[in-house]
Amino acid sequence: MPPAIKAPPEALYSRFGASRATRQGDWNLLWPNAGSSELYNLATDQSETKDHANAEPDRVRDPTAAFVASSTQTVPPKWQTLRLGSAQKSSVEKNEMTTVTHLECSITGERYEAGVIQNLSTAGWPLLVRYDLAKARDNWNRDWLANGPRSMWRYAPVLPVSKAASIVSLGEGWSPLLKLKRTGAHFGTKDLWLKDEGINPTGSFKARGLSCAISMCVELGIKKVAIPSAGNAASALAAYAAAAGLEAHIFMPQDVPQSNFIECKSFGANVTLVDGLISDCAKIVASRKDEEGWFDVSTLKEPYRIEGKKTMAYELVEQMQWRVPDVIFYPTGGGVGIIGMWKAFAEIKNSAGSGRSGRR
């Protein structure tokens, strides 16, 4: 069973101007097409686990168990094989889960083959994964998407992994939206929402990107991965590499928070503390990767972390009934997440549409 969803700490309520007495009115967890039984009340501990307690375990946790049709919905035949039992896995591997067509240089537009190991373009720029969005639109619709897995893998047709057996998932994604009534009122808006990425397996949205990247490493036969990081990306890489049985090499500044260092070590990663900055860690990875046989998963040095993080935008639009928010405030960091969200919004616009467009 997945861990219980915990109510935000008291300090968080205080920060947003709420008290325990106003929890029920200020924090609502919104799931797409949710009925009253799926809207959670965080006022008491007893109500926090309601959905997970009543849900089928594989529906919540297994990314390949999904896309189960209701009696009133029709699932395209090729996706029915995603309802996996052990006897079905071989048939799934014969079907493409994805609609990926090729990789593309983000600056020059030069095309690169999908399904082979790639890092940067020959011009030294990040590669973007491209999809047959018309095919995705014809074989994937909103009516049955609501019955997909409650993880980022509900968007498998627009993710690069082609085989269900390659997916390395710890239940990342499908994070809730929290409606901030009191905070919104303070700023003069009635429609302010917070997407809580802190419930991801390793405590941040980095889990999305590394789930996708490590899944592609499995699919491409990569055995060793390396990353420079000062925190959450390292923790996520260590966790997903451990789940996949890959060898992880992490380079961190020596003044990194001890919690991140311990977490990476506990997952069995090879951690090197560097007397320098994150840029110095990156130089070590770049200089040793070819000799050591490491696949470099540094920020914007491979195509797949963007793909995992773009699912934040797909989720956000789906949770808002396929409407794009007017404004999104996003903590940019290294930029992978915001690039991913921009890419997802473009894909949504170019495929099924989104109802209305938000301001840029």
Using pLDDT thresholds of 50, 70 and 90, give the confidence band for residue 167.
Answer: very high
Q: With respect to CATH, is domain 77-172+306-350 assigned 3.40.50.1100?
A: yes
> How many Cβ atoms are within 10 Å of 134's Cβ, its own excluded?
11
pLDDT for the residue 113: 97
Mean pLDDT of 203-224: 97
Q: What torsion, rounded to 10 degrees, do the Cα atoms 261, 61, 91, 148 define?
A: -120
Average pLDDT score, the chain: 77
DSSP string over 205-261: THHHHHHHHHHHHHHHT--EEEEE-SSHHHHHHHHHHHHHT-EEEEEEETTS-HHHH
The least confident of 15-29, 85-99, 176-190, 277-291 is 15-29
CB 307 within 8 A of CB 159: yes
CATH fold of 206-305, please? Rossmann fold (3.40.50)
CB 197 within 8 A of CB 223: no
CB 235 within 8 A of CB 263: yes
The Cα 86–Cα 350 span in angstroms is 36
Let me know if the fold of 77-172+306-350 is the same as that of 206-305.
Answer: yes
pLDDT in tens, 261-289: 999 999 999 999 999 999 999 999 999 99
Using pLDDT thresholds of 50, 70 and 90, give the confidence band for residue 87.
Answer: very low
For residue 133, CA distances in Å to 73, 108, 140 come to 22, 21, 10
Q: Is 102 helix (H, G, I), strand (E, B) or coil?
A: strand
pLDDT for the residue 147: 80
Residue in 141, 143, 146 with CA at minimum distance from that of residue 38:
146
Mean pLDDT of 33-60: 29
**46 vs 126 pLDDT, higher one:** 126
Using pLDDT thresholds of 50, 70 and 90, give the confidence band for residue 96.
Answer: low
Rg of the chain taking only CA atoms, in angstroms: 20
Residue ranges of the domains in the chain? 10-61+176-199, 77-172+306-350, 206-305
Percent of the chain with pLDDT over 90: 63
Number of Cα atoms under 13 Å in the Cβ half of residue 317: 25
pLDDT for the residue 63: 36
SS3 of 310-338: the string is CHHHHHHHHHCCCCCCCCCCCCCCCCHHH
> How many Cβ atoms are within 10 Å of 37's Cβ, its own excluded?
9
**Residue 279: which residues within 8 A CB-CB, separation 6 or more?**
none
Q: Tokens at residue 193, please?
A: 């929402």
Region label for 228, one of left (φ > 0), alpha (ψ between -120 and 50) or beta (otherwise) = beta
Across 8-22, 36-50, 300-314, the highest mean pLDDT is recorded for 300-314
Using pLDDT thresholds of 50, 70 and 90, give the confidence band for residue 143.
Answer: confident
Using pLDDT thresholds of 50, 70 and 90, give the confidence band for residue 146.
Answer: confident
Total count of residues recorded for the chain: 360
Residue in 304, 301, 68, 294 with CA at minimum distance from that of residue 166:
304
pLDDT for the residue 333: 84
| 214 pLDDT above the threshold of 70 | yes
Region label for 321, one of left (φ > 0), alpha (ψ between -120 and 50) or beta (otherwise) = left
H/E segment holding residue 194: strand 193-195
The least confident of 55-69, 119-133, 178-192, 334-348 is 55-69
pLDDT for the residue 53: 30
Please give the span between the terminal C-alpha atoms of the chain, in angstroms, as a whole number.
Answer: 39
Task: Give the global pTM.
Answer: 0.74
